[in-house]
Chains A and B, each alone.
Chain A
Amino acid sequence: MKGVGTILVVAALLAAVPLFGVSNVTLNFLVTALIIALAGQGWNVLGGYGGQYSFGHAAFFGTGAYVSAILQLRYGVNAWIAFAAGIGAGALAGAIIGGLSFRSGLRGSYFALVTLAFAEVLRILASVTPITGAGVGLLVKLDLRPEAFQFQSRVPFYWIILALVTVSLLIVRAIENSRFGAYLVAVRENEEAAKALGVNVIAVKLGAMVISAAIVAAAGGFYVQYFLFIDAGIAYGPWISIEALLAPIIGGVGTVFGPLLGALVVKVLGEAAKLVTGDAPGLDLMIYGGVLVLVIALAPRGIAGVVADLRARIVRRKPEAKPEQPTAGHHV
């Protein structure tokens, strides 16, 4: 399949990073960035390819995280199985929220606001319900065995989240090359025209929502295993909804590598801002926000867009690189 090679090469290069003896701090930084990359890729399926901008993907991150944690803690379910169940629960949440919003024809900013509202309702519920640990949160029991999805070292965690990100890249590439992907983009580009071509707009959006939610739920489930703690603010808070949409927007919405690129850039930016401002509280966030505004203003199609423009410019310089000849009249 087209484009799989690049994904595997990038994955292999990233997988080799721990072999060079990087510090725990660096590894921790990379794991966090990859969690955001995974969530961002989930958001990208619906937002980037389907044009449905959600402000509430925390709903799926949190559901993946809580279902996994609760199954382990309250029902003694194996961590790996709990993780898978969390992904399933996230997909189900996507089907419910997507079904309700798309069936009632919510689009654009209305859709964004409704998803935000769903996430906030879930956050408030989780902060008062006993099963989610209410205000205190849930601590997953320490059990440093691979069977329990816990490891002594950060390296296996890094490889696992990298594997998850790689799978998400492959999924998105497969969507790009599929008829479903073509319909999804058609819906993003012009819903009315897509309908007239016979595209079942609601079904396509719903499909994208379920895939999107499942990927984001995987990020939530991984988060629980890595930090062994979850509370309402982390699970359903706006922070993850924002990071999940910032990464693809910075990196390039509707592109395979956009979310990964964007997550790395956003995280580096965040760390750099903290370094520059030292202890002044909130100042790093202001710098961070300012730089993001600049990036969005200067490169509305993200880093991937800038790269594509540069490539197009180079191709245009070479006179021999002519576009594909039209096939009119050449019957096969």
Chain B
Amino acid sequence: MVEPVPDPILAVENLRSGYGITEVLRGVDLTIHRGEIIAVLGSNGAGKSTLNRTLSGINRAWSGSIRFAGTAIERDSPARIVARGLIHVPEGRRVFPNLSVRENLDLGAYRRGGGRSRDTLARVFSIFPRLSERQNQRAGTLSGGEQQMLAIGRGLMADPQLLILDEPSLGLSPLLVEELFALIQTINAEGIAILLVEQNVVQSLDVAQRAYVLDNGQFVLQGDVATLRDNPDLKRTYLGM
């Protein structure tokens, strides 16, 4: 018997994008299945953040197609895309520093119709209990790790089907990195697909099912993490072996 292939949550074909006249993404194909964790690896300047920004509509796609849950979204505004359930947590711990933790979280929920936001808040607090303890604290006074948790929690408030995390472990202590990767798995266990951009290659390959390696705006390697781990190129470039 042939198992039916479920339609992917995200299907990207031949995507091109860039800044001004500089092309950064030079024809990218990417598929993420529902409930999957995908790692996107690549050196600095490879175009990982540009890919995230283009998927979430912040940067315009020059050409190619992006289908999210079966719908073409490459012409949609970021607001539309958020409302559809594709949420991007940008790199660099971008919290609203002078607002309280609670206000930060509330802002995450706005674009995704109110209704269930109290349940969502309770869920976010159960994943990040520390945010619950610090609801009234100014976000700018949180520690680096807490700010990153807040940025992710705010993304979850929008009730995503796909969560894009851009270098969430940047600048965190090894212990916190451990904790973060565990949390990513907790979030994923709730059925949320995750596109994870990371420099921590080893840990990313531990949590992801598949990985893509971006180099100079193109995917040069891709596949199951088990296969990729043994790939000599990947070993040499990213694992220092």
Contact = CB atoms under 8 A, between A and B. Distances in A.
Contact of A324 (B82, B95, B135): B135
Nearest to A331: B122
A193 B96 contact: yes
A328 B96 contact: no
Contact of B136 (A183, A194, A198, A324): A324
A195 interface: yes
B191 interface: no
A199 B56 CA distance: 12
A183 B99 CA distance: 12
Interface residues of B, number: 41
Interface size class of A (residues with CB under 8 A): 20 to 34
B90 interface: yes
Contacts of B135: 323-324, 326
Interface in B106-121: 106-108, 110-111, 118-119, 121
Contacts of B108: 197
Interface of A: 179, 182-183, 185-186, 189-190, 192-200, 323-324, 326-332
Given A196-B78, A196-B88, A198-B78, A329 B122 contact: yes
25 contacts: A182-B103, A182-B106, A182-B110, A185-B96, A186-B107, A190-B96, A192-B90, A192-B92, A196-B89, A198-B77, A198-B83, A198-B111, A198-B158, A199-B78, A199-B79, A200-B79, A326-B135, A327-B118, A327-B125, A328-B122, A328-B125, A329-B122, A330-B122, A331-B118, A332-B118
Contact of B110 (A179, A190, A193, A196): A179
Contacts of A182: 103, 106-107, 110
Contact of A193 (B79, B94, B106): B94
Interface in B18-77: 56, 58, 77
B16 interface: no
Interface of A, secondary structure class, is loop
A190 B95 CA distance: 7
Given A179-B110, A326-B132, A193 B151 contact: yes
B210 interface: no
B150 to A, nearest CB: 10
B97 interface: yes
A202 to B, nearest CB: 11
B119 A326 contact: no
B10 interface: no
Given A190-B94, A195-B78, A198-B80, 11 more contacts: A182-B106, A185-B99, A189-B99, A193-B151, A196-B56, A196-B94, A324-B136, A326-B133, A326-B135, A327-B121, A328-B132
Contacts of B99: 185-186, 189
Contacts of A195: 58, 78
Contact of A198 (B79, B98, B119, B132): B79
Given A198-B83, A329-B122, A193 B90 contact: yes
A193 B99 CA distance: 13
Contacts of A331: 118-119, 122
A194 B97 CA distance: 12
B81 A328 contact: no
B129 interface: yes
Contacts of A196: 56, 58, 78, 82, 87-90, 94, 155
Contacts of B136: 323-324
Given A327-B122, A328-B129, A329-B125, A200 B77 contact: yes
User: Which of the listed residues A183, A185, A328 has the most CB atoms from chain B within 10 Å of its own CB?
Assistant: A328
A195 to B, nearest CB: 5
A199 B12 CA distance: 24
B44 to A, nearest CB: 18
A160 to B, nearest CB: 35
Contacts of A185: 96, 99
B98 A189 contact: yes
Given A196-B90, A328-B129, A189 B122 contact: no
A332 B96 contact: no
B126 interface: yes
Nearest to A195: B58
Contacts of B94: 190, 192-193, 196
Please indicate which of the listed interface residues B58, B83, B94 has the most CB atoms of chain A within 10 Å of its own CB: B94
A142 to B, nearest CB: 49
A332 B98 CA distance: 29
Contacts of B83: 198
